[in-house]
Amino acid sequence: MTRKPLNSLPGFNFWIKSRWPQLIIRAVLLGGFIIAILAGFLGTPVGNRNISIVAVWIAWWAALILVAVPIFGRGWCAICPIPMPGEWLQNKAVLGPSVNRNSSKVSRRFPKRIRNIWLQNAAFSLLAVFSVVILTRPIVTAWVLLALILVAIGVSLFYERRVFCRYLCPVGGFIGIYSQQAPLELRVADPSICATHKEKSCYRGNEEGYGCPWDVYPGSLTANTNCGLCMECLRTCEYDNILINLRSSGDKLPAVRGGSLDSSYKAFIMLGSAIVYSAVMLGPWSGLKDAAYQIGSLTWWGYAVGLLVVIWAALPGLFYLVTRAAHKLSPSFHNPRQIFNTHASVLVPLSLTAWIAFSLSFVFANGSYLVPVLSDPFGWGWNLFGTSNAIWTPYLSQYVPVLQTIVLTGGLFWAARKSQQIAEARNAPRQSWPIIIFCTFITVSLLWLFVG
């Protein structure tokens, strides 16, 4: 793997260490977040004329899944406004650490048993069963956004660091697993400097910045998953030992030991929800759409239970059988759980590209709703920029299916290679075959949903 540190670029460290650019971006986003909540409560109930829906589920979602996550990994977390008010209260400061920073700071750790992403998996699944309503009704989106920020404030008053981001945020969980593939990473330049540096300012904080808000010790970082790119360690490290690297490939695979079950489940949840959403939102089956929409009705219960069964039981169960077959074909000394968890990591690129393909269609078809809404964010008949009468028109509708095909086959190649590398690292080269057949089956099914 080749790496190129960006820190040597002129001005890079200066602008990153300065708190102002990040604060200004986050403050603007917080303003937008508040406007989205207000618009949801006070604006028109028509989703595609209300900025809460259009800005969050079309503009932000497109920027996140098509650009931020694939290129910057957790880059969004670096500028996310949701945890910001909570951090201010927790730190009793808006900009830098205050002088007597240790005086009365919360130091309670999050309970050990739930220091994993099961809660995020649950939070995402909970939102998933209501997704069609959240995506279309401004007031529901407003409640969701408000709940997120209130919970974030609440936990940051009770527990130290960014517990909300790391263990609760429904979006944070999948950004974390996808950031493993990103071409950008934060790492230390020389681990031996860290080993002898007793203060560990990056973890504990000093006058220059806070101890790692993500509860990570940068000296031993080997994966992007839990690094929020908040840049505090760049500010605190007295040895300028922290680098932001461009890199030629993703995080090293946990090929032999295997990942953890909560992360594996995150991958199933993302893959399963991409499949179900594609059928519900992009397919021609109106019965499915009605079922997903009529919350509380019998058909909705059917849909909700069906969705949860697919993502929590059917997909993982099927995949378990596939890993058993892999083990039969090419035995290795690992136990079934290790085999399952390691191979599940190939679903990370597969489900990321599934989400990109899904979003391409959703975003290009509905992107033009943004134009009138910018002029009339609440749907009150304003015309701020003279665009409020712009007509809806899908973008690139001829090319989207071709793009989706390219993205999905690219994702399959990526997953297949990863699978092969895992199998070879274990000296069980044929272990990859059943896994790759499974991935091919998923890819062809998705193709059928998108372009069939």
Partner 1 sequence: MRPSKYIFISGFLLAGLLVAFTPLPVPRNEPMHHIFHVDSRSFAFTPAEIKVDRGDLVTIELTSSDVVHGLYLDGYELEISTDPGQTNQLTFTADRAGSFRFRCSVTCGDLHPFMIGKLQVGPNLLLWRGAGLAILAALAGVWKFHQ
Residue 409 found at the interface with partner 1 (CB under 8 A): yes
For partner 1, the closer CB: 104 or 286:
286
Site size with partner 1, rule: CB under 8 A: 53
For ligand SF4, the closer CB: 202 or 354:
202
* 4: enclosing H helix or E strand: strand 3-5
* 187: enclosing H helix or E strand: strand 184-188
In the DSSP assignment, the letter for residue 199 is S
DSSP-assigned states of every residue in 136-160:
H-HHHHHHHHHHHHHHHHHHHHHSS
Quick one: which of 50, 91, 156, 241 contacts ligand SF4 (CB under 6 A)? 241
Quick one: which of 101, 115, 200, 337 contacts ligand SF4 (CB under 6 A)? 200
245 DSSP β-pair partners: 5, 185
d(CA 114, CA 94) in angstroms, rounded, equals 29
What radius of gyration do the chain's Cα atoms show? 23
Quick one: which of 114, 150, 402, 427 contacts partner 1 (CB under 8 A)? 402
**Under rule CB under 8 A, which residues in 45-84 are in contact with partner 1?**
46-49
In the structure encoding, which two tokens stand for residue 410, read together?
A: 């690219």
Quick one: which of 169, 216, 408, 428 contacts partner 1 (CB under 8 A)? 408
DSSP-assigned states of every residue in 95-118:
SS--TTTTSS---PPPPGGG-SSH
Quick one: which of 37, 68, 227, 280 contacts partner 1 (CB under 8 A)? 280
The interface partner of residue 337, options being ligand SF4, partner 1, none and the CB cut-off 5 to 8 Å by kind, is none
390 neighbors 372 (Cβ within 8 angstroms):
yes
For partner 1, the closer CB: 118 or 293:
293
Residue 237 found at the interface with ligand SF4 (CB under 6 A): yes
d(CA 425, CA 33) in angstroms, rounded, equals 45
Quick one: which of 48, 201, 353, 359 contacts ligand SF4 (CB under 6 A)? 201
Residue 143 found at the interface with partner 1 (CB under 8 A): no
Residue 330 found at the interface with partner 1 (CB under 8 A): no
Q: Segment contacting partner 1 (CB under 8 A): 198-206, 213-221, 320-328, 396-404?
A: 396-404
- What is the closest distance, in whole angstroms, from the C-beta atom of residue 48 to partner 1 in the complex? 6
Strands 3-5 and 205-206: unpaired
The letter for the amino acid at 179 is S
283 neighbors 248 (Cβ within 8 angstroms):
no
d(CA 146, CA 135) in angstroms, rounded, equals 15
For partner 1, the closer CB: 47 or 81:
47
d(CA 205, CA 197) in angstroms, rounded, equals 13
Site of tokens 């990370």: 348
167 neighbors 114 (Cβ within 8 angstroms):
yes
The interface partner of residue 440, options being partner 1, ligand SF4, none and the CB cut-off 5 to 8 Å by kind, is partner 1
- What is the closest distance, in whole angstroms, from the C-beta atom of residue 242 to ligand SF4 in the complex? 6
Residue 299 found at the interface with partner 1 (CB under 8 A): no
For ligand SF4, the closer CB: 239 or 448:
239
Residue 378 phi, psi dihedral angles, 5° rounding: -100, -5
Quick one: which of 289, 299, 374, 387 contacts partner 1 (CB under 8 A)? 289
**Under rule CB under 8 A, which residues in 334-373 are in contact with partner 1?**
365-366
d(CA 235, CA 272) in angstroms, rounded, equals 40
The burial of 286, by beta-carbon neighbours within 10 Å (0-12 exposed, 13-18 middle, 19 or more buried), is given as: exposed
Residue 202 found at the interface with ligand SF4 (CB under 6 A): yes
CA distance readout (Å), 354 to 348, 391, 442, 444: 10, 30, 10, 11
Quick one: which of 283, 306, 320, 325 contacts partner 1 (CB under 8 A)? 283
Contact positions vs ligand SF4 (CB under 6 A): 188, 193-194, 197, 200-202, 218-219, 233, 236-237, 239, 241-242
Contact positions vs partner 1 (CB under 8 A): 46-49, 132-133, 136-137, 280-286, 289-290, 293, 365-366, 392-394, 397-398, 400-402, 405, 408-410, 412-420, 432-433, 436-437, 439-440, 443-444, 447-448, 451-452
